[in-house]
Amino acid sequence: MLHTLVLGLGRAGSGLHLRVLAKARATAPDLFHPEPMIGCDPVADTRHDLHDVITAASLDVATKLVNPQRTVVHVCTPPTTRVAVLTQLAQHGFRRAIVEKPLATGVGELREIDALRQRYGLDLVVVSHWMAAELTERIEQLVWHGELGELRSIRFTQDKPRFTRSAATHGHPTAFDVELPHSLGVVLQLAGPAEVQRAAWTDMRCPDAVLPRMGSAHLTLHHAGGVTSEISSDLTSPVQQRRIVLEFTGGQVTGHYPISDQDDHAQLVVDGQRHIFRDDALTRFVLRAYRHFRTPAAGGHPTLQVHRDVVRLLAEAKQRCALAAERSSSHAR
């Protein structure tokens, strides 16, 4: 049985991971140590109102409460601190970690994480619950079975208003780092390796401030098999949606992922017929991750390579956008 340490008690840590872990522990008690989970936030004040969670004031204290060799760490700290946090965990003896997306915010950080993995033998699983979702698996079956012909294109839309969190936190450098790691992982799973064709970002304009690069992100990919993917995310949208549209030679498929943790129903429209079903993807993902940690697969968890590709593609997209901004500024002068 494995102990659990949730590192970072913000929105992802206390709002998502601890809630999902409570369900997962009830569903498969054989995977989890029966003692309470440990929660630790390296930057914020330690919280004391978490049910069935012992809070630790620091990583040093947390290490004394569990055996690092038998503990899964949920890394829910901002992505800009990823390398430092994983280094501290490795130095304290932890080897298993579920890491919130994105794995890194650039290829330089990715290289540092790869070096840490090799030096300390880290087993990292990147949060990829959309890839494990029932909706994604149903779509994947349609792609592979060819019932609607060959896949030609994918359009992914992830919109939500994120003004308050963007202004209050600075852990995500650009809009590319917020929602796109989820959808990009899915399109790579469905259509295979890809290269960047076009990329663009916009600023977030709040009533009292402008947040550079945090308004929207747009990405066009060309996959090795000939499929084109377009992914867009507007963090200033008045409405929230998580929609995927796939064009086949013989028809169209539209999928709607659960809009938030308040409702776990997904919808799939095939040939005009709508199918509604439960899709608690994050709980399913966590259970699969703990089963992996109990019996690790050779070569590491499959999410790792996918998210290494995600980091590479997003880094190229951000570089293209930065170069375009520089050229635009030079012409303006």
Instruction: Convert the pLDDT of each residue in 37-91 to its tens digit.
Output: 999 997 766 555 687 899 999 999 999 999 999 999 999 999 999 999 999 999 9
Report how far residue 282's alpha carbon sits from residue 179's, in angstroms, rounded to the nearest whole number.
15
What domains are defined for the chain?
3-127+287-298 (3.40.50.720), 134-280+313-326 (3.30.360.10)
Residue 118: the pLDDT is 95
Residue 3: the pLDDT is 97
pLDDT bracket for residue 260 (50, 70, 90): confident
**310 C-beta neighbours (distance < 10 Å), count:** 26
CA-based end-to-end distance of the chain: 63
Please state, rounded to an integer, the average pLDDT across all residues of the chain.
94
Q: Is the dihedral of CA 63, 69, 72, 73 positive or negative?
A: positive
Bridge partners (DSSP) of residue 278 are: 265
Bridge partners (DSSP) of residue 320 are: none
Query: pLDDT, tens digit, for every residue of 215-249?
Result: 999 999 999 999 999 999 999 999 999 999 999 99
pLDDT bracket for residue 326 (50, 70, 90): confident
Query: pLDDT, tens digit, for every residue of 20-44?
Result: 999 999 999 999 999 999 999 977 6
pLDDT exceeds 90 at position 99:
yes
DSSP annotation of 49 reads: -
Task: Write down the residue that tokens 């003004």 correspond to.
Answer: 163
Query: pLDDT, tens digit, for every residue of 286-297?
Result: 999 999 999 887
Q: Is the dihedral of CA 12, 17, 18, 19 positive or negative?
A: positive
Residue 31: the pLDDT is 96
Residue 302: the pLDDT is 86
Q: Is the dihedral of CA 222, 115, 74, 39 positive or negative?
A: negative
Distant-in-sequence, close-in-space partners of 5: CB < 8 Å, separation ≥ 6: 37, 38, 39, 40, 62, 66, 71, 72, 73, 74, 94
The pairing of beta strand 71-75 with beta strand 3-7 = parallel
pLDDT bracket for residue 333 (50, 70, 90): low
DSSP annotation of 263 reads: B
pLDDT exceeds 70 at position 307:
yes
In 2-150, where do the E strands start and end?
3-7, 37-40, 53-56, 71-75, 96-99, 123-126
Residues 163/164/169/173 CA torsion (nearest 10 deg): 0
Distant-in-sequence, close-in-space partners of 251: CB < 8 Å, separation ≥ 6: 148, 149, 270, 271
pLDDT bracket for residue 298 (50, 70, 90): confident
Distant-in-sequence, close-in-space partners of 101: CB < 8 Å, separation ≥ 6: 79, 126, 127, 128, 181, 182, 185, 307, 310
Inter-residue contact 50 to 22 (CB < 8 Å): no
Residue whose C-alpha is closest to residue 102's, from 176, 43, 10: 176
The enclosing H or E element of 189 equals: helix 180-191
In the chain, where do the E strands start and end?
3-7, 37-40, 53-56, 71-75, 96-99, 123-126, 151-161, 194-205, 210-223, 228-234, 236-248, 251-256, 265-270, 273-278
pLDDT exceeds 70 at position 180:
yes
pLDDT exceeds 70 at position 330:
no
Report how far residue 269's alpha carbon sits from residue 243's, in angstroms, rounded to the nearest whole number.
11
pLDDT exceeds 60 at position 19:
yes
Inter-residue contact 265 to 278 (CB < 8 Å): yes
Residue 45: the pLDDT is 60
pLDDT exceeds 60 at position 131:
yes
The model's pTM: 0.93
Query: pLDDT, tens digit, for every residue of 106-117?
Result: 999 999 999 999
Report how far residue 67's alpha carbon sits from residue 92's, in angstroms, rounded to the nearest whole number.
10
Residue 49: the pLDDT is 67
